[in-house]
């Protein structure tokens, strides 16, 4: 008995399928799953339904009328949008330039989540999360942390940072409300180097998480708010410390606003590496730790930023740095991205545990990350291994003799 | 033939009790995605292969429990591992339960003294080698699907390794394994009774019987593997030739030379070179007078590889080869895994680029027969192309199968524009597969050196290839799997039950 195909897709679905038909077929037709073993979700679940190739195959099956949005929606939760699969895919490696085609699994997952929402199919966790974000203009940030417009600048208490100016520092919700030691470290280092910057007048969540979970309209509304705020206070440059924001501002915002988007986006890690090279910052206080570096997915895999953080770490005296090459790191992820912890915290925990087990093999006492969203799950997993999880900015501040303050989480 | 009853709630409950409810998958997506392997079974017929449910057991005991339940209810079971097999082995023909063993991926022991490791069969060799590297060791089962095929599937297909001339193939590298019979009984299979024994003469050699059966005799859950020192040096020279014949002579001489570090040689024919030149971005382009390519690979210690390599280079030179230089040699050999199955490479007769699936027919052919088989195979595909504009000829490879050069894995790669593939073109393709297999048999070869031959088309010729051996296969199947629950339909083994029931085959 074969199941009766359903050909009654909604108009948005029909449009989606015509957009993705060939791209999905291109993966389906190879179907070799070279991508599979690098996928962090696959590594912990071993469930073939949650692999890049399945994500593409579902589209082919929908196009054939065999599956519906309702059938597939939930599977797309199981992705951190880390981008490892794209890098490992021969379509990207070999045919990318030749035919101007690369496998875009991350984009597909995002679009499929959006398609589900457009069809009224919601994941309860995502729905709640985005509703709370909408009410508070900030992500709820798991736990009991008070999140609101009144508190968004609390992290900077006592640092004397002005509001507005040509350059502002944008702090993601997790760092602003939970791991406040990170933005404090960043702000003080920048002050030390003489970089002038201010804070936003009214900062809302960047909208990236809403976009990642499929709430397109909300994501765009948030983006519009932030851009309007920047424009109103004459902002020309936005400094970003969080890799997720960096993706949102350099990929989503230009897609929303096109030519009109005149803001320069600067990744703090890159800026700091430059300041060190130029001699404007000199880490001097030795830090006696044995570390390894966790390449945040959105920097290494998605943006190709992997040299600068290493440059910073190599400039810090006292560190023993047991590095792993960036390609090996393609299969590492903290599990903290792409909304996974909202719907599947247990998977996030397992992925973090995997990451820490790799670090433990290198016999380190510290894992350095450069992404606030990775640090909570990594820290939790680090406890069992007695490995401390530190943000690269915190570490640099320490070597510069800065008393950081703030909270490193619960 | 056994048919699956409707899966009752009772069965679902029993399975959930045995392995945990979260590991019993009933969703449509879970089932559709277990009805897929890389090479096309026409996409418009996808729903015909969808299983009733999927289970993800986590241990040998759980696999045994699942099999016992299925056997009691006479429900077909299909073992699935990487799902990269090219003959539909891991895809159900009669619905039932797909037993996906990917969760069995632990490394249970690394025995540094006896040079073995024991792993769950859901592990991938690339991942295993990442761990073994820390001990300076390697598990050298190296198919082109190295990043994606898993140990259980290697046992299920008795796969073929690119570097098999030096290290042997899956069947040589797997010393022994834990195996769940179709009744749910767990046995241990290896040479003799030991776990880490490579050669024994006590009893029948059951290990071979329980490898390459495409999941028709049971499920391997844990395997003990042979390990080697991680090679210190690798040499992978590529040579160009102005014609096929001299390249062919060269490959033969390289393989027959008896160089200890020699791990394999490959010959790309004119069609393959044209295809690479036209559509393979990773291929480093060669002048138009290059018509065939040969590459060899040697592994070992620095000093022995250098010495052996000198001899290889000399042999090739004497055959009229032009060495393509270190850069091309290293780059092209490194790309050997990924070179397969990059889509978008197909072209219709008019040269239009179309997304095509990769379909490869493989056979084991003696050296002396290679040139003849090659021409006949291309002619078959040419006739097919003349009738339907959904096929493309991506050329042929042959690879040494053994260190003496007695036989070669011979493969023709065909692009199929599956989106446009209708029933008529598919039927013609199945006929062509049958013809391709027949050519191999006429040449005294085997239909398959590597993938098995369960697919529509070539599967019809298996009894012919095996002669009376096929009847023994039927007897074995009936004895081991009395209720025909293991991967029913594959290899035409339903015939084993037809006589008994007095029904037609
Ligand atoms: C790009 C590419 C290149 C390839 N190159 C090669 C190559 O060089 N050499 C080669 O040999 N093959 C090659 N193949 C084919 C394929 O990788 C092999 O057939 C491989 O052995 C299949 O392994 P798998 O884990 O994917 O198994 P699956 O596809 O899951 O299963 C294969 C068969 O084994 C059975 N099976 C699976 N698990 C078990 C188990 N635990 N116990 C018993 N039976 C089981 C299945 O029922 C099925 O019949 C290639 C495939 C691709 C996509
Ligand atoms: S995403 Fe790329 S590597 Fe993975 S199955 Fe698809 S084509 Fe293959
Ligand atoms: S983006 Fe990352 S998590 Fe998502 S499918 Fe690819 S490898 Fe897996």
CA atoms of A313 and A321, how far apart (whole Å): 8
Q: How much is the pLDDT for A151?
A: 87
Class of domain A149-273: alpha beta
pLDDT for res B286: 83
Q: Would an 8 Å CB–CB cutoff place B17 in contact with chain A?
A: no
Nearest residue by C-alpha to atom 7 in ligand 2: A27
pLDDT for res B1: 32
pLDDT at A408: 82
Q: Are B429 and B356 in contact (CB under 8 A)?
A: no
Q: Does B355 touch chain A (CB under 8 A)?
A: yes
Q: Please state, in angstroms and rounded to a whole number, the distance separating the CA atoms of residues B440 and B457.
A: 13
Both structure tokens of B316: 């090739």
Q: Where are the beta strands (DSSP E) in B150-205?
A: 174-180, 186-190
Note the pLDDT of residue B503.
42
Cβ pairs bridging A and B (under 8 Å): 134
Interchain contact, B83 vs A3, CB within 8 Å:
no
pLDDT tens for A107-150 read 999 999 999 999 999 999 999 999 999 999 999 886 777 888 88
Q: What is A281-400's CATH number, 3.40.50.150, 3.40.190.10, 3.40.50.11810, 3.40.1050.10?
A: 3.40.50.11810
d(CA B461, CA B424): 21
Strand partners, A366: A291, A388
Residue A146: its pLDDT value, please? 82
Q: DSSP string covering A179-199, please?
A: -THHHHHHHHHHHHHT---BB
Nearest CA to ligand 1 atom 31: B153
Whether the predicted pLDDT of A6 surpasses 80: no
Q: Are strands B407-416 and B357-366 parallel, antiparallel or unpaired?
A: antiparallel
Q: Note whether A149-273 and A281-400 share their fold.
A: yes
Substitution target in A36, A39, A40, A48 with the highest count of B β-carbons within 10 Å is A48
Does B340 contact A at CB distance below 8 Å? Answer: yes
Assembly ipTM: 0.93
Instruction: Give the per-residue pLDDT at A145.
Output: 77
CA atoms lying within 13 Å on the CB side of residue B438? 10
Could you tell me the mean pLDDT of each successive run of 10 residues in chain B, 505 residues long?
59 96 96 90 90 97 98 97 95 96 98 98 96 96 94 97 96 98 97 93 94 97 98 95 97 97 96 86 82 95 97 97 89 71 75 88 97 98 96 94 96 92 95 98 97 93 96 97 97 86 42
Cβ atoms of residues A109 and A338 within 8 Å? yes
8 Å CB contact between A378 and A369: yes
Interface test with A, best of B7, B31, B47, B59 (most A CBs within 10 A): B47
Mean pLDDT of chain A: 93
Q: pTM score, two decimals?
A: 0.94
Chain segment B361-393, per-residue pLDDT in tens? 999 999 999 999 999 999 999 999 999 999 999
The ligand 2 site (C-beta within 6 Å) comprises A 27, 30-35, 52-53, 56, 85, 89-91, 103, 105
> What mean pLDDT is predicted for residues A99-105?
76
Tokens of A322: 């047991």
**What are φ and ψ of residue A280, in 5° steps?**
-85, -15
- B492 and chain A in contact, CB less than 8 A: no
* Angstroms from A68 CA to nearest CA on chain B: 10
Q: Is B120 on the interface with A (CB under 8 A)?
A: no
> A-chain residues within 8 Å CB-CB of B343?
26-27, 29-30, 91, 95
DSSP B119-157: EETT-BHHHHHHHHGGGTEE-----TTTTT-BHHHHHHH
Domain positions in chain A are 11-121, 149-273, 281-400
Separation CA B247–CA B260 (nearest Å): 22
What's the CA-to-centroid distance between A79 and ligand 3, angstroms?
5
């Amino acid at each position: 008995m074969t199941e009766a195909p359903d050909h009654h897709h909604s108009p948005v679905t029909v449009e989606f399928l015509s957009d993705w038909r060939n791209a999905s077929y291109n993966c389906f037709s190879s179907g070799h799953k070279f991508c599979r073993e690098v996928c962090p979700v696959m590594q912990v679940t071993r469930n073939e339904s949650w692999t890049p190739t399945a994500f593409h195959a579902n589209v082919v099956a929908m196009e054939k009328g065999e599956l519906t949005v309702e059938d597939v929606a939930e599977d797309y939760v199981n992705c951190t949008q880390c981008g490892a699969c794209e890098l490992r895919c021969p379509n990207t490696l070999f045919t990318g330039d030749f035919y101007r085609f690369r496998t875009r699994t991350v984009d597909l997952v995002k679009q499929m989540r959006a398609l589900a929402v457009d069809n009224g199919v919601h994941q309860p966790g995502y729905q709640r999360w985005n509703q709370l974000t909408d009410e508070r203009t900030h992500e709820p940030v798991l736990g009991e942390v008070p999140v609101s417009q009144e508190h968004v600048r609390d992290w900077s208490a006592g640092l004397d940072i002005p509001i507005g100016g040509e350059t502002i520092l944008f702090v993601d919700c997790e760092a602003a409300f939970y791991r406040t030691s990170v933005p404090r470290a960043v702000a003080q280092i920048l002050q030390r180097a003489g970089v002038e910057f201010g804070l936003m007048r009214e900062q809302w969540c960047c909208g990236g998480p809403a976009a990642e979970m499929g709430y397109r309209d909300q994501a765009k509304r948030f983006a519009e708010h932030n851009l309007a705020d920047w424009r109103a206070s004459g902002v020309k440059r936005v400094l970003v410390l969080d890799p997720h924001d960096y993706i949102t501002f350099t990929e989503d915002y230009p897609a929303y606003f096109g030519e009109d988007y005149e803001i320069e986006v600067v990744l703090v890690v890159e800026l700091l590496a430059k300041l060190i090279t130029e001699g404007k910052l000199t880490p001097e206080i030795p830090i006696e730790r044995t570390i390894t570096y966790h390449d945040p997915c959105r920097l290494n895999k998605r943006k190709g930023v992997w040299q600068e953080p290493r440059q910073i770490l190599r400039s810090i005296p006292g560190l023993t740095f047991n590095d792993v090459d960036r390609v090996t790191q393609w299969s590492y992820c903290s599990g903290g991205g792409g909304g996974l912890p909202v719907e599947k915290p247990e998977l996030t925990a397992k992925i973090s545990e995997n990451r820490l087990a790799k670090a433990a093999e290198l016999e380190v006492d510290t894992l350095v990350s450069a992404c606030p969203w990775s640090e909570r799950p990594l820290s939790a997993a680090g406890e069992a291994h007695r490995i401390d999880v530190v943000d690269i900015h915190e570490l640099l501040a320490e070597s510069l003799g800065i008393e950081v303050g703030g909270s490193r989480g619960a | 033939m056994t048919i699956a009853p409707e899966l009752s709630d009772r069965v679902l409950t029993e399975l959930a009790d045995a392995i945990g409810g979260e590991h019993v998958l009933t969703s449509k997506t879970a089932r559709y995605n277990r009805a897929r392997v890389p090479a096309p079974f026409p996409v418009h017929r996808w729903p015909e292969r969808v299983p009733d449910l999927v289970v993800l057991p986590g241990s040998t005991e759980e696999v045994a429990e699942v099999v016992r339940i299925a056997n009691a209810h006479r429900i077909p079971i299909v073992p699935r591992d990487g799902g990269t097999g090219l003959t539909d082995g891991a895809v159900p023909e009669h619905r039932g339960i797909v037993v996906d063993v990917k969760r069995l991926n632990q490394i249970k022991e690394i025995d540094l003294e006896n040079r073995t490791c024991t792993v769950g069969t859901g592990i991938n060799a690339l991942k295993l080698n990442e761990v073994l590297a820390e001990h300076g060791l390697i598990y050298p089962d190296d198919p082109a699907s190295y990043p994606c095929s898993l140990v259980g599937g290697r046992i299920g297909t008795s796969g073929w390794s690119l570097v098999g001339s030096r290290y042997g193939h899956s069947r040589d590298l797997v010393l022994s394994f834990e195996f769940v019979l179709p009744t749910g009984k767990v046995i241990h299979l290896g040479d003799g009774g030991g776990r880490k024994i490579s050669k024994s003469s006590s009893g029948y050699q059951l290990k071979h019987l329980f490898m390459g059966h495409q999941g028709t005799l049971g499920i391997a859950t844990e395997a003990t593997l042979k390990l080697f020192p991680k090679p210190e040096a690798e040499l992978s020279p590529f040579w160009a030739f102005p014609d096929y014949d001299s390249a062919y002579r060269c490959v033969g001489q390289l393989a027959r030379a008896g160089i200890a570090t020699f791990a394999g040689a490959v010959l790309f024919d004119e069609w393959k070179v044209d295809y690479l030149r036209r559509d393979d971005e990773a291929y480093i382009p060669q002048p138009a007078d290059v018509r065939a390519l040969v590459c060899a690979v040697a592994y070992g210690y620095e000093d022995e590889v250098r010495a052996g390599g000198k001899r290889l280079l000399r042999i090739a030179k004497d055959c009229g080869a032009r060495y393509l230089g270190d850069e091309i040699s290293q780059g092209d050999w490194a790309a050997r895994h990924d070179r397969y199955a990059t889509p978008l490479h197909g072209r219709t007769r008019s040269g239009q680029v179309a997304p095509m699936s990769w379909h490869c027919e493989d056979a084991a052919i003696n050296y002396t027969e290679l040139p003849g088989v090659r021409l006949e195979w291309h002619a078959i595909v040419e006739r097919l192309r003349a009738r339907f504009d959904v096929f493309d000829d991506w050329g042929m490879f042959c690879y040494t199968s053994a260190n003496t050069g007695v036989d070669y894995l011979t493969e023709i790669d065909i692009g199929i524009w599956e989106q446009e593939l209708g029933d008529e073109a598919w039927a013609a393709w199945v006929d062509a597969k049958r013809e391709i297999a027949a050519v191999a048999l006429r040449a005294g070869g085997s239909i398959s050196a590597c993938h098995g031959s369960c697919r529509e088309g070539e599967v019809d010729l298996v009894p012919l290839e095996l002669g009376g051996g096929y009847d023994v296969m039927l007897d074995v199947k009936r004895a081991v799997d009395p209720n025909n629950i293991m991967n029913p339909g594959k290899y035409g083994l339903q015939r084993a039950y037809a006589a008994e029931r007095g029904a037609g085959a």
